[in-house]
Amino acid sequence: MIVSEYPNEICEALSDTLESGVTRVDATGGYSKRLKSIVYFV
């Protein structure tokens, strides 16, 4: 699981490197209230 403000770049790199699918979930920081994404991959 990766929490990031740059999910597109991370998803692309993981897909290219691991040749596996990824799942992206939008999230809001509990303290900062900033929008982020959670990236899951297996």
Residue 5 carries which DSSP code?
A: S
Residue with tokens 């403000």: 5
Strand order of the β-sheet with 2-4 is: 2-4, 35-41, 22-28
pLDDT tens per residue, range 5-42? 899 999 999 988 988 888 999 999 899 999 999 999 88
Maximum separation of any 2 CA atoms in the chain, in Å = 34
Q: Residue 20's pLDDT is what? A: 81
Tell me which residue of 37, 32, 34 sits closest to 14, measured CA to CA: 37
Q: Residue 39's pLDDT is what? A: 94
Q: Residue 19's pLDDT is what? A: 81
Residue with tokens 């209230």: 33
Q: Residue 21's pLDDT is what? A: 85
